[in-house]
Structure 1
Amino acid sequence: MLRLLLFGRQVYLKYSMDEMSVYAAQASFFIIMAAFPFFMVLLALIQVAPMIHEADLLRFLLPAIPGRFQGLLIYLLDSLHSDSPAALISVTALAAVWSAAKGMLGIEKGLNRVFGVTSPRNYILRRALCSVYTLAFSLMCVTSLALLVFGSFLQEMLLKWFPALSYLSGMISLGRGLVMFIMLMIFFTAIYTALPHRRLSICGQIPGAMFSAAGWALTSLAFSVYFRYFGTYAVTYGSLTAVILFMLWLYVSICILFVGAEINWFLLFYKEKIMSIKENGLP
């Protein structure tokens, strides 16, 4: 237990020395800038889908969001139906990818800082790679929030439509959390392996990925509990509560991502130190 506490203190000190909170804030800012264009693109794509109608979409979404935001959702859908979806998709998609890729560049810089390296790649190549990772990162964010924040609502709707599955309610909840944990762990392992400009083994990134996946799951769960039980008591920020909470959730989640990277760095450092001692024949 003492060793674990000492290890945690070392991770915290290096995290502070590397100024990871600055990189987390930079990445969060640009990803948040891209969140609203991504949302507009999603709604525009739904608009052009032949099998989805606005009434059906509202019937599904309205019970899942706080009452204060329902009017805004209806206004956005009405505005989308009055505009050209093709033009909206092209413009907002470009804005979203540009902003979010800038955020992923911040994550790349932070991971390079953790491992003490710099990236010699040219800017265009880095931006292109970060755009690809941005799409995967956005998918993980949406999946994480959907499985925990809206997961309870979706589970209730499923049990309402299929009452015979009520005895499987506990298994559904457990399976939902397990699927999200595995998806996040795979994603973080890929991020830790691919983004830093240093050759790293996939297996060596799993401990930090497991920590980050668990941290993201707990953070999203706390976010879900607040929305479910305390969402109506948002006095400080009023109608901006959801936006503020999303910003806070994203910032904390990226901080957790960097903590996982610091854990992997220490494990790699200890491994290389042990190998060096063995090669030099020291006891």
Structure 2
Amino acid sequence: MNAILPTSIVELTKSIIFEVVDSQHTGLLGVSVLLMIWTSSSAFRAVIKGVNKAYSFKENRSFIKRSIISMIGIILLALIILLALAMLVFGNVIGAYIISRIPFYKIIIFLWNMFRYAFVFIVMIFIFALIYMFAPAKRLKLKEVIPGSVFSTIGWIGVSFGFSFYINNFGNYSRFYGSLGAVFILMTWLFLISMIFILGVEINCVMSQIKYKSVNNEY
């Protein structure tokens, strides 16, 4: 997990998870999760506004519909992170089990690692494509959002690995600032991957404009 997330973020996340697991107030936990999703969806509504501006689309959907789309978008983005973490963490557990049970484990381990990384990559593209298709006021076709989806997937993975490597090896923010440093690192990471997401939108928009101009030139 430390390969894609800085150690300080991992420790901060673990402390939050353990606190939630140890808590007996399940009702309060449910309310907190819903409140967090709703608060995060307000930021996603701003993303929807930016997407519409990039495509020059006029927003004609109701506030309720945009809020629902925003909450679904937040959940999908959270699923990307959880899926990547789950495949990396449980993938190692499965790999260890394979080593203990199968004689020719090296080939199987290689194939398993190829499969789990390819699976995460494909699912990330699919989730990004869903968001890029339904976020604008006008629904886009799947082929129109594939370029940005691929870019965002590669960008998220690349930025996460690069940022994690830098923080774990060169940046000692958590050592000097403690939990506050971990929060700062988390916010910086979220900012970077948000920029990747927006760039994916711009790439889809530019590609659509190029295709539209080429079609018009043919006629």
Fold equivalence (TM over 0.5): yes
Compute the displacement of 1:218 (Å): 1.2
Tell me the TM-score normalized by structure 2: 0.78
**Aligned-partner Cα distance in 2 for 1:157–1:206:** 32
**What is the Cα-based RMSD across aligned positions, in Å?**
3.1
What's the CA shift for 1:76? 1.6
Paired letter, 2:19? L
Q: Is 2:41 the counterpart of 1:105?
A: no
Please list the CA deviations of residues 127-146 of structure 1 after superposition, one character each: whole Å capped at 9, or x if unmatched: 12222222222211222344
The equivalences for 1:52-63 within 5 A come to none
1:171 Cα deviation after fit:
3.0
**2:218 — aligned with what?**
278
In the alignment, which residue of structure 2 is the partner of 1:255?
195
Q: Give the TM-score normalised by structure 1.
A: 0.63
Amino acid at match of 1:163: I
Q: Choose 160-169 or 196-205, whichever is displaced more.
A: 160-169
Question: What residue in structure 2 maps to residue 47 of structure 1?
Answer: none
2:76 maps to 1:131: no
Q: Per-residue CA shift, 1:236-282, capped at 9, x if unaligned? A: 43333433222222211111111111111111111111222222xxx
SS of equivalent to 1:196: coil
Other-structure match for 1:21: none
Of 145, 153, 157, the residue aligned with 1:213 is: 153
Q: Name the counterpart of 2:140.
A: 200
Q: Where in structure 2 are there 5+ consecutive unaligned residues? A: 1-6
Rounded to whole Å, the distance in 1 between the matches of 2:11 and 2:140 is 47
The percentage of counterpart residues that share the same residue type is 25
| Count of residues paired in the alignment | 208
Query: Do the aligned partners of residues 172 and 224 (structure 1) sit closer, same or farther apart at CA in structure 2, a change above 3 Å counting?
Result: farther
Task: Give ranges in structure 1 of 5+ residues lacking alignment.
Answer: 1-64
CA 234–128 in structure 1, closer or farther in 2 if over 3 Å, else same: closer
> Which amino acid letter does the alignment assign opposite residue 193 of structure 1?
M
The answer to whether 1:184 aligns with 2:120 is no
Equivalent residues in 2 for 1:222-261, closer than 5 Å: 222-226=162-166, 234-261=174-201
Larger Rg over CA atoms? 1
